[in-house]
Amino acid sequence: MPLQFELCPGRMVGGDHPCFIIAEIGQNHQGDLEIAKKMIRMAKDCGADCAKFQKSVLECKFNKKALERPYNSPHAWGKTYGDHKRHLEFNHDQYKELQKYAEEIGIYFTASGMDEMAVEFLHELGVPFIKVASLDTNNFPYLKTTAEKGRPMVISSGMQSMETMRRVYNLVKPINPNFCILQCSSAYPLSVEDVHLRVIREYQSAFPDIPIGYSGHETGIAITVAAVAMGAKVVERHVTLDKTWKGNDHQASLEPNELAELVRSIRLVEKAMGSPIKRLLPCEMICRSKLGKSVVAKTKIPAGTALTLSMLCVKAAEPYGLPPEDIFELEGKTVKRDIEEDESITEEEIEK
């Protein structure tokens, strides 16, 4: 079964394809369409593959009491949680405008569908893939209808257990094979001790036929780069224009210079991952001929002498002689000509 699939038109993920980098604008746009556009532009300029938002149909995502509860937080945009969330929600026409803008500047555009109606909305909008936010990952009716839409899915796994993630995999796989799972811990900002990058390995062995990725809420870029070195094929990070802005996620977000550095570092590490085949590289030949050690005569050895270990030593020598790892095989072999003390012993001097 392939470890890769087409996440967006013309963009494969998994296998040897470059890691797909999602700039999660989320609700960091302050409810302002112009800021949202600036953030899409910033994501593109910094080299991210995709600009992502969060779409909710609030009455479908929350029950009445949850919307009516007071939101006493410095990050609140309204007195109740419902008012707060309403302020941050873009409508259909605004989404259309953002989508058009992203298309014009050439960056993939999508959102997490944070309830079934939101997924319906995104499906009709024609996003390339649906992001399943952690809060819906154990929402099995949602997962089933979303998988049935047939669009690729990126499923995050904050707040879930391994057992639930196995059930998620078993539910989605037969309906829609084009999905990946992201390791994620849902806290903002996330402490280093709560990241658990090793879960990526667990997922890779439990779900070997899908790409695995990482959705990070920590500060800085190092941990996300490490996730890529561990094989994350999709990464997602919140982005902001200013970490001091009001909002729950800004502190755990990357400002433009950090996002650009993240993209650069990921691309660098991808190149450095190279090949698993260990061999002497052409670029190492200069070092080997200068400092690599080889077999040298410890004493003068007359032609026809059968070699013993006591006649040989190992040094960095000019020219480079026989490799020292073969020294024991030289015992008993005879030399074709007189060899001076401290002279390199090369292939040509040894009787076959």
Ligand X SMILES: CC(=O)N[C@H](C=O)[C@@H](O)[C@H](O)[C@H](O)COP(=O)(O)O
Shortest CB 54 distance to ligand PEP, Å? 4
Q: Which helix (H) or strand (E) holds 172?
A: helix 162-172
Shorter beta-carbon distance to ligand X: residue 75 or 288: 75
Shorter beta-carbon distance to ligand PEP: residue 3 or 130: 130
Shortest CB 248 distance to ligand X, Å? 3
- Whole-number CA gyration radius for the chain: 29
CB under 5 to 8 A by kind: which of ligand PEP, ligand X, none does 188 bind?
Answer: ligand X
User: In 192-284, which ranges are continuous DSSP H helix?
Assistant: 198-206, 222-229, 256-273
Task: Give 57's contacts (C-beta < 8 A, 6+ positions apart).
Answer: 115, 117, 118, 121
Shorter beta-carbon distance to ligand X: residue 135 or 241: 135
Shortest CB 104 distance to ligand X, Å? 26
Shorter beta-carbon distance to ligand PEP: residue 115 or 236: 236
CB under 5 to 8 A by kind: which of ligand PEP, ligand X, none does 146 bind?
Answer: none
Shorter beta-carbon distance to ligand X: residue 114 or 200: 114
Distances (CA, A) of 245 to 56, 77, 84, 254: 22, 12, 15, 12
- CA–CA separation, 9 and 160 (whole Å): 30
Q: Which residues pair with 24 in a beta bridge?
A: 52, 238
CB under 5 to 8 A by kind: which of ligand X, ligand PEP, none does 249 bind?
Answer: ligand X
Shortest CB 41 distance to ligand X, Å? 20
Shortest CB 188 distance to ligand PEP, Å? 9
Q: Note the residues at the interface with ligand PEP (CB under 6 A).
A: 54, 112, 131, 133-134, 156, 158, 182, 184, 186, 215, 236
DSSP calls for 188-217? SSPPGGGT-THHHHHHHHHSTTS-EEEEE-
CB under 5 to 8 A by kind: which of ligand X, ligand PEP, none does 184 bind?
Answer: ligand PEP
- C-alpha angle 291-297-301 in degrees, rounded to nearest 5: 160
CB under 5 to 8 A by kind: which of ligand X, ligand PEP, none does 160 bind?
Answer: none
Shorter beta-carbon distance to ligand PEP: residue 5 or 53: 53
**Nearest-CB residue for ligand X:** 248
Shorter beta-carbon distance to ligand PEP: residue 249 or 258: 249
And the tokens for 58? 């609030």
Eight-class DSSP state of 10: T
In residues, how long is the chain?
352
Shortest CB 22 distance to ligand X, Å? 11
Shortest CB 224 distance to ligand PEP, Å? 12
Shorter beta-carbon distance to ligand X: residue 248 or 305: 248
Q: Note the residues at the interface with ligand X (CB under 6 A).
A: 26-27, 54, 75, 133-135, 186, 188, 248-249
Shortest CB 158 distance to ligand PEP, Å? 5
- CA–CA separation, 154 and 122 (whole Å): 14
The answer to whether residues 60 and 66 touch, using CB atoms and an 8 Å cutoff, is no
CB under 5 to 8 A by kind: which of ligand X, ligand PEP, none does 248 bind?
Answer: ligand X
CB under 5 to 8 A by kind: which of ligand PEP, ligand X, none does 131 bind?
Answer: ligand PEP
CB under 5 to 8 A by kind: which of ligand PEP, ligand X, none does 164 bind?
Answer: none
- CA–CA separation, 328 and 313 (whole Å): 11
- CA–CA separation, 133 and 136 (whole Å): 6
Number of neighbouring beta carbons within 10 Å of residue 148: 10
The answer to whether residues 251 and 232 touch, using CB atoms and an 8 Å cutoff, is no
